Amino acid sequence: MSEDQLSLSPWRGEMPKIGIRPTIDGRLGGVRESLEEQTMSQAQSVVDLIAKTLRYPNGQPVECVLADTCIGGVAEASAAAEKFKKNGVVVTITVTPCWCYGSETMDMDPQTIKAIWGFNGTERPGAVYLAAVLAGHTQKGFPAFGIYGKDVQPAGVKEIPEDVAEKLLNFARCGLAVALMRGRSYLSMGGTSMGIAGSMVDNDFWEKYLGMRVEDMDLTEFIGRIQKGQFDLDEFKKAKEWVKENCTEGKDYNEKSQTRSRHRLDEEWDVSIKMALIARDLMIGNPKLAEMGLGEQAQGHNAIAAGFQGQRQWTDHFPNGDFLEAILNTSFDWGGKRAPYVVATENDALNGAGMLFGFLLTNSAQIFADLRTYWSKDAIKQASGEELANDLVEDGILHLINSGPAALDGTGQQSDEEGNPTMKPYWEIGDEEVEACLKATTWHPSITEYFPGGGWSTRYKTRGGMLSTMIRLNLVDGLGPALQIAEGYSVDLPDSIHDALDSRTNPTWPTTWFAPILTGKGAFRSSYEVMNNWGANHCVLTSGHVGNLYITLASMLRIPVYMHNVSEERIFRPSAWRAFGTEGLEGADFRACKNYGPIYK
């Protein structure tokens, strides 16, 4: 991001760091001396792996803080903890090739997210230390993730085995997600939308489980700022020119009696662009407002996620939030490529939290959608008059669509190294991919009967073949938050079938056809059962098969996962979870989360 973009990003300033703790057998007189170089080399290999692989949401490499010395006892453990506190460490990884004194060398900070890598070698019992210190963590109530390679390696090997590297990186990604949320805000722009439970913002959830505060504001703030011109006027002019050049207008699907004049549609564009600028400024502030004498407004609400109420108190009178939501959730705008902002349609704060999780785990944009319809092959044939090819889906498809438009990244016009559709971190997106996303999207006058105040809605169809993970975070009375996960693929339908099905809902809204991976068991017996067991009307779609990352993150936050199709060998939770059952992992997850409770309780 450019300097100007960074000043308008929630990811400016100091980022949380990962502390690397090399622990060692403290016995001087030959034992410790023989292990110093190997132990510190193992720690440095983790630093190098993380620095070259992981990035913060602002595109900068993730920073690690290495303890000054190997940790052989409590004095050195304390010195490392002190260094970590001064350097903003929230996540720690302990590494060792040998036996160490468990309770004397372990990370005892209750606020850090912890993992231990015990080197699998026969010369020294690093794996024995791993088991011993994990037992100490479990006994003392500080859950930690245990990392242990499958294959025995000779002492002195510097390369990190592939299975170990994967666990180290997955732990680091999820731990940083926890750290990046801590102390930030969710901005509730307006109140409850159309009685949707997810938009009844639960402060306890955000505070106790995520370590975030909820900031509330009334939508009259938008009216006031629009009327008083409290936004960057120069940026508004730039944005308006960009919209005119890049946001292609499509067909007006309104009945003739419901169409709006060209003059009014142009006014709606102006208001929609201003709303996007104001929503961003409300989230993270804007130094330009201070230059205008608006010092208080320039500060923003320190929000890394937000929701816009929209329907109906706002949309009955003013243009809807569709442009606001679409462009802020996208990885680019008139200023160029940048990290997406997270804005939930209809102020569904639970879906906003899910979008935030997905963004922090992948650094890529997220699709907000209704899980609108299950289409069986028979129903598709009846509605379209055509047979759905058997090789497209196993058992029908799910229609993901919402009046609040998803990020333009969701068109699927970005590609991975093999040419498959995906959604990428902004620094990996090419200029030609930005252009392709824009060309794949058309903007339509909103349906007046839905939105009397007007506005513009996006239309696109997600390119098929994108590995995807659909999730939903729900609140359950007496239980608390619980997560659902379904890995699958986006599906390309022939235009004739797509148009027939799409017109049954609303052709001015963005569509993703999604086929979950079926396991033949439980909620994943069929696509119908996936929808039948879904906990709410909304969902989040993340690019990639990252259900395993969601499971790891949920365990860190003490949020149980009650529906998923992630294979058992990919599941990575703290070692303490095994004490709550090794046969039924879903039940063990519930028991462990209840036992430990939210991390900020």
Could you report the average pLDDT of every consecutive run of 10 residues in the chain (601 residues)? 77 95 94 93 96 97 98 97 97 94 94 91 74 95 93 75 95 98 97 88 97 96 97 98 97 94 97 98 97 96 96 93 96 96 96 98 97 93 88 86 88 96 98 98 93 94 97 97 98 93 87 96 96 96 98 98 96 97 94 96 85
CA atoms 295, 301, 304, 309: torsion sign: negative
State the sign of the Cα–Cα–Cα–Cα dihedral 571, 343, 372, 513: negative
Closest residue by Cα to residue 59 from 6, 115, 103: 6
Report the distance separating Cα 347 and Cα 350, nearest Å: 9
How far is the C-alpha of 75 from the C-alpha of 451, rounded, in Å?
65
Residue 332 pairs in a beta bridge with 337
Please give the Cα distance from 332 to 376 (Å, whole number): 36
Three-class SS of 305-373: EEEECCCCCCCCCCCCCHHHHHHHHCCEECCEECCCCCEEECCCHHHHHHHHHHHHHHCCCCEEEEEEE
Q: Alpha-carbon distance 318 to 271, whole Å?
A: 9
Place of tokens 């409290």: 230
* pLDDT number for residue 427: 97
Q: List the Cα angle 104/121/583 in 5-degree steps.
A: 80
**Which residue of the set 107, 268, 325, 370 is catalytic?**
370
Query: Is 589 known to be catalytic?
Result: no
For this structure, is 266 an active site residue?
A: no
Q: How many CA atoms lie within 13 A of 261 on its CB side?
A: 3
**pLDDT at site 389:** 80
* Token pair recorded at residue 220: 């009259």
Helix (H, G, I), strand (E, B), or coil: what is residue 547? helix
Catalytic residue among 325, 346, 348, 487: 346
HSE-up (13 A, CA, CB side) for residue 17: 20
